[in-house]
Amino acid sequence: MESENAKKHVIIIGGGFAGINAIKVLDKNKFDITLIDRHNFHSFPPLFYQIASSGLDSGSISFPFRREVRHMKHVRFHMGEVKKVDTVAKTVTTQFETVSYDYLIVAAGTTNNFFGMNDLRDKVYTLKSVAEAIRLRNEILDRLERASIATDHERKKQLLSFVVIGAGPTGVEVAGAIGEMKRYIIPREYPELKKEDLKILIVEGTDRVLRTMSEDASRHAYEYLGHLMVDVKLNTTMVGYDNNVVKFADGEEVYCETLIWTAGITGEPIDGFDKSVYARGGRFKVDEYNRVDGYNNIFALGDISYLEAPEYPRGYPQMAQVAIQQARCLAENLNSGKFDKKFKYNDKGSMATVGRNRAVADLHKLHMYGRPAWVTWMFVHLISILGMRNKLTVLINWIWAYCTYSTSLRLLVRPSKYPYRKHWDLAKE
């Protein structure tokens, strides 16, 4: 007979900010944990745009799960993409295996949302994973090389036509990074090109960039984008993209060969759950204890969870701090077994960087701009990255880039496709 004190088995789907923080707090004497992730490493999405712009390599913002849990005897890592959950048999199925759980924590994050324009998936560049960031980096480098040897000036400009859809933090950061390449790197390292040959436009559906931040932050970010020769188009949504032409709701059409999509995210449904558990944006409806609607042994954390609060009538923001704080709260409730601690978000503020010495930060009543915000941004990101080696590598790369006005990682390394592995053919990667 199973003892009352037998350890319970927790499966965590996803080792992002939420999954990793739940593992750190769950009591090793009460739980055995299996972490399942489609990748074998934890990554740091806030710096994906720096991979795309060759500022950092993927290894410096990623960390192998097995290394992270090597001293935790109660934790096992299984690589696999979860395809199905059987809530009656209490099992999780990946492409490789089926594993049983007592408690299930879904911390699977989100994917790109194309708002019904599903043909975009094959045409646009996105930044939701390390693989997607590397794909964009390769595209930018490939285009710079091809434009450099193109003999027709019009063709050079076509090759270097970039549009970013969505002026939230990711859009602004990636547009700013390409703007920095245009302003500082092209004139020095691509003698065959003029910086005016590269055109970058960022498009936003509302009336300001960084609309979730303060108006001052939006105004400064708008100015910084101008300094980096990035054009901004506000109050317009994209309605289509065909034959390298972006069509906007206001009727305007813009030629663009590299369309970067940062306009929306959505949860990926997992087979086995009734439609009724999902809220807007494909997120799992949860209560203040992060229990998924209708279950008391299944929880959702982070971006994939949806919980409204008076200050957040459209659900808590999909940000790293929410994921981390929810994970800690749930782990404490599971440890005590009492479920007496309701989740309450402690908003520590938000920040975004547009380029060297150009950042904005809203930290409660403190609003910072320019270099102080930029230094704060670097500090906060540096301490949040997993692993000492990663922190040092990132710091050295940043110091190097600051002193040289350049990025030294502009290597166009294309993956080799053969021998072909069907099970590597994940989602969009």
Ligand X SMILES: Cc1cc2nc3c(=O)[nH]c(=O)nc-3n(C[C@H](O)[C@H](O)[C@H](O)COP(=O)(O)OP(=O)(O)OC[C@H]3O[C@@H](n4cnc5c(N)ncnc54)[C@H](O)[C@@H]3O)c2cc1C
Among 22, 26, 37, 369, binds ligand X (CB under 6 A): 37
Between 190 and 302, whose beta carbon lies closer to ligand X?
Answer: 302
Among 61, 63, 128, 177, binds ligand X (CB under 6 A): 128
Q: Return the range that interacts with ligand X (CB under 6 A); candidates 43-51, 117-125, 190-198, 338-346.
A: 43-51
Residue 127 binds ligand X (CB under 6 A): yes
Between 200 and 324, whose beta carbon lies closer to ligand X?
Answer: 324
Residue type at 110 in one-letter notation: T
Number of helices (H) and strands (E), helices first, in the chain? 11, 24
Rg (CA), the chain: 22
Q: Please identify which of the residues 173, 253, 257, 268 carries the catalytic annotation.
A: 173
Residue 46 binds ligand X (CB under 6 A): yes
CA angle 218, 212, 226 (to 5 degrees): 25
**Min separation Cβ 119 and ligand X, Å:** 22
Task: Name beta bridge partners: 75.
Answer: 33
- Rounded CA gap, 73 and 48, in Å? 31
Residue 171 binds ligand X (CB under 6 A): no
Among 10, 12, 17, 331, binds ligand X (CB under 6 A): 17
Between 244 and 266, whose beta carbon lies closer to ligand X?
Answer: 266
Residue 164 binds ligand X (CB under 6 A): no
Phi then psi dihedrals of residue 322, to 5 deg? -60, -45
Site string for ligand X, 232-271 (x = CB under 6 A): ----------------------------------------
Between 193 and 300, whose beta carbon lies closer to ligand X?
Answer: 300
Phi then psi dihedrals of residue 329, to 5 deg? -65, -45
CA angle 93, 98, 103 (to 5 degrees): 80
Asked whether 19 and 360 are in contact (CB, 8 A), the reply is no
Among 10, 11, 12, 19, binds ligand X (CB under 6 A): 19
Between 33 and 36, whose beta carbon lies closer to ligand X?
Answer: 36
Q: Return the range that interacts with ligand X (CB under 6 A); candidates 289-297, 313-321, 362-370, 388-396.
A: 313-321
Q: Where are the alpha helices (DSSP H) in 181-262?
A: 186-189, 215-227
Residue 81 binds ligand X (CB under 6 A): yes
The DSSP output letter for 267 is: P
* CA quadruple 25, 28, 31, 33: dihedral sign: positive
Among 10, 11, 12, 13, binds ligand X (CB under 6 A): 13
User: Catalytic residue at 308?
Assistant: no
Question: Element (H or E) spanning 415, and its range?
Answer: none
For residue 338, count other CB atoms closer than 10 A to its CB.
9
Asked whether 252 and 296 are in contact (CB, 8 A), the reply is no
**Min separation Cβ 71 and ligand X, Å:** 21
Residues between 326 and 345 that touch ligand X (CB under 6 A): none
Pull the structure tokens for residue 117. 């324009």
Between 178 and 193, whose beta carbon lies closer to ligand X?
Answer: 178
**Min separation Cβ 2 and ligand X, Å:** 28
- Rounded CA gap, 16 and 44, in Å? 8
Phi then psi dihedrals of residue 271, to 5 deg? -55, 140
Q: Which residues are catalytic?
A: 173
Query: Which stretches of the chain bind ligand X, using CB under 6 A?
Result: 13-19, 36-39, 45-46, 48, 81-82, 107-109, 127-128, 169-170, 302-304, 318-321, 323
